[in-house]
Amino acid sequence: MKLFEKTLESKSIFEGKVIHVMHDKVELENGETAMREIVAHPGGVCVAALTPENELLFVRQFRYPYKEVTLELPAGKLEKGQNPLENGKRELLEETGAIGREYMTLGKLYPSPGYCGEIIHLYFCKIDHFEKQQLDEDEFVSVERIPLEKAEEMVMNNEIPDSKTQVAILKTAAIVRKLNGQ
């Protein structure tokens, strides 16, 4: 098996502020052709920021696609020309006012690989200090602190449906246990 698809044609369907939708014709490894609908996305970043009291910082915000308020770790879309870590530091400050230290990568996440090219970069940090929140003018969030152990329970009890938040919480909890010799 070659496990590869060759792009034969690519047609732009929609170009928005955040996403670009394409309709591609591909050649499969058996020589047949198929159509692929792809959402191109600049990517994102998510930060699990831990307080000295072993609490994670969360934001509650209304998410229009779901028509509900979600509980998520601070996150945002990648800005052109910035690396993911710098983007993560900026998002953490903007959304929570926190300044982190000792950043550690938690890897990357493909949220919907069947049709979307978005890659979310995950980070863990310890909070050094707080400054003033710097929300975008169209951004409205409520900041909460939740003990790491409780956040992990919330993931396991299906109380946090956001995938990037789930993965970052579980990886952070595993790292903290390892650092504490557990």
Minimal CA–CA distance to 14: which of 31, 37, 32, 30? 37
Neighbour-count burial for 92-116, b at 16+ CB within 10 Å, e otherwise: bbbbbbbebeebeebeebeeeeeeb
Selecting among 37, 72, 137, 153, the annotated active-site residue is 137
Question: Quick one: 44 exposed, middle or buried, by C-beta within 10 A (0-12, 13-18, 19+)?
Answer: buried
Asked about 137 being catalytic, the answer comes back as yes
Active site residues: 137
